Amino acid sequence: MSVQAIAWSPSGAVRIIDQRALPDARIERDLESADAVADAIRTLQLRGAPLIGIAAAMGLVAGTRELRAAPRDAFLARLDRLVALLAATRPTAVNLRWALDRMSRAAQEVAGAGGEGTAIWERLRAVATAIWEEDRAMCRRIGEAGLPLVPDGTTVLTHCNAGALATGGIGTALAPIYLAHDAGRRVQVFVDETRPVLQGSRLTAWELTQAGIACTVIADAVAGSLMRQAAVDVVIVGADRIAANGDFANKIGTYPLAVLAWHHGVPFYCAAPSSTIDAALPDGDGIPIEQRAPEEVKTIAGRAVAPAAAAAFNPAFDVTPARYVTGYVTDCGLVKPPFGADP
């Protein structure tokens, strides 16, 4: 992939692609602190459930670099504050909390064995790097598991961005598409624009064109008409949190897409790594849904598209019930519903 959404900079900062600038410009930024990483997550400079987990882990490393010579208690106190800061950035994606909990456990293990600041920091960097590398491997396995869903000549419809810009590797929903393309299969992708922030048209279409994969951007409302015309072979989307019963949260607009696919008999798949599964959550009713600023709905590229006096409702995600899902494409393989806490 020519797209790498996150990396360590030579100085030890967290290097990201500022996704707000795409597709007009590719701008890389080095985030030198946990505060900068938290701001980047809140403001959608980076997004995608796996990626924000990776970024948060790396942010803890960047945010404690100057404490390497500090005593154990001072280091852990600062770490706790930074964990709370990063955990509060976005509530829906479970990967964020999963990565932060893993980093906290690693720090406590070293501290419990008598390690001071330097030893704790070195372990944090190793674990953050492992989280990143493991995600890259999981993306590859998701692509391999989903490859049979994309035979030669397939037309896929996807929503939002679940590719390299949302993960540490080649993506989740886009991973089978990338591997099919690499295998020489002809693939056509319909890309929902994904209002209100246009992650489909701005990000997914940009990724696919970078890879030389044919894609067509559509308004979100066009998907049903395409299915009625039998122009879509399969729908593949990502997920930000999957409950134990298979209900899952994804970018707003996924739920009506699933209902449309079910009505028209189009297979509908959710692609996500195992870190996105919240086994402690029985069903989707308990998934917290982030509410974002009304300005995202009322403006496009800074231009007003609604009267100032009008209110706006802007949930970032919706929940799709498991009954509408044909299968889950995971790093553990292709899983068909129903499933329990460990698909």
C-alpha to C-alpha distance for 111 and 100, rounded to whole angstroms: 17
Pick the catalytic residue: 73, 135, 182, 240?
Answer: 240
CB-CB contact of 275 with 50 (8 Å): yes
Among 263, 237, 262, 235, residue whose Cα is nearest residue 250: 237
- Give the whole-angstrom CA distance, residue 64 versus residue 79: 7
Residues present in the chain in total: 343
DSSP string, 283-342: SGGG----B--THHHHEETTEE-S-TTS----BSEEEE-GGG-SEEEETTEEEPSP--S-
CA distance 278 to 287: 9
**Nearest of 258, 263, 232, 88 to residue 156 by alpha carbon:** 232
Cβ atoms of residues 155 and 190 within 8 Å: yes
Rounded distance between C-alpha atoms, residue 50 and residue 250, angstroms: 13
Active site residue 283: no
Q: Where are the beta strands (DSSP E) in 139-186?
A: 154-158
d(CA 174, CA 243): 22
Report the interhelical angle of 72-87 vs 94-112 (nearest 10°). Answer: 170
DSSP bridge pairs for 8? 14
Question: Catalytic residue numbers?
Answer: 240
